[in-house]
């Protein structure tokens, strides 16, 4: 999911495109898009922050 594309792969590219197209998106829209990406990339399970300690 983080390979096969520029700078972090297709997942990150999709997020960058979403951010550019949805400036000021509401939290609900962001979570909905996250769910769409999870389906698109076959991610199962809970979302975990990248910056967890």
- What is the extent of the structural domain holding 25? 1-53
The C-alpha atoms of residue 40 and residue 44 are separated, in whole angstroms, by 11
Tokens of 40: 């698109």
Evaluate if residue 31 carries a pLDDT over 60: yes
The C-alpha atoms of residue 6 and residue 31 are separated, in whole angstroms, by 23
Q: What is the pTM of this model?
A: 0.71
Mean pLDDT value across the chain: 83
Quickly state the pLDDT bin for 51 (edges 50, 70, 90): low
**pLDDT of the residue at 32:** 93
Count of domains forming the chain = 1
Query: Of 30, 5, 4, 32, whose CA–CA distance to 19 is shortest?
Result: 30
**pLDDT of the residue at 3:** 62
């Amino acid at each position: 999911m983080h390979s096969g594309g520029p700078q972090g792969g297709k997942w990150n590219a999709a997020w960058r495109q979403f951010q550019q197209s949805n400036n000021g998106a509401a939290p609900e829209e962001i979570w909905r898009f996250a769910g769409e990406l999870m389906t698109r990339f076959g991610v199962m399970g809970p979302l975990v922050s990248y910056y967890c300690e």
